[in-house]
Amino acid sequence: MLEEKDIFRDTWVRYLGYANEVGESFRAVVPVQVVRASYAVAFGYVLADTADKSWKMYKRGGGPKKIIVETGDALLWQTLASVAIPGLVINRLCAFTQTQLHRNASKVPLTTRKIITVSVGLISIPFIIHPIDAGVTIFMNNTYRKWI
């Protein structure tokens, strides 16, 4: 039997969960409403994946407890791995970059410093995805999944 491809975790759809990292990367050059909208996209992805996992558990005949556990697992994992931790990492990385450029390269035009900040944020996204996913999985395996 072939294993079903998970559209939310094994396809391009997974990248919708990282919309807020793109928003955080552009925070220096866009209105805050744009950054907030990027979080709405990311949380929409989280909720869609959670609903998908819950529905699949229901279709497999899982009782109410199994469905609730599966829902909690998907919601917690996705919130941490797709929104909270990467958003915080990119936010802090961009803030640090801005501060350092202001302190050490203040003669560089502000527009250039902002472009550098955005670039650092965007370039870092591919490098943080897999370590954060793996770290959240380890965390979940040693907490929620062990306790439930």
In this predicted model, what pLDDT tens digit does every residue of 46-88 receive, in sequence order?
A: 999 999 999 999 999 989 999 999 999 999 999 999 999 999 9
Rg (CA), the chain: 18
Q: How far apart are CA 17 and CA 128, in angstroms?
A: 13
Hey, what are 56's tokens? Answer: 């699949």
Does the pTM exceed 0.85?
yes
pLDDT digits over 15-34, tens only?
A: 899 999 999 999 999 999 99
Cβ neighbours of 7 (radius 10 Å): 13
The pLDDT confidence band at residue 10, using thresholds 50, 70 and 90, is: confident
Within the chain, what is the greatest distance between any pair of CA atoms?
Answer: 64
Q: How far apart are CA 128 and CA 122, in angstroms?
A: 11
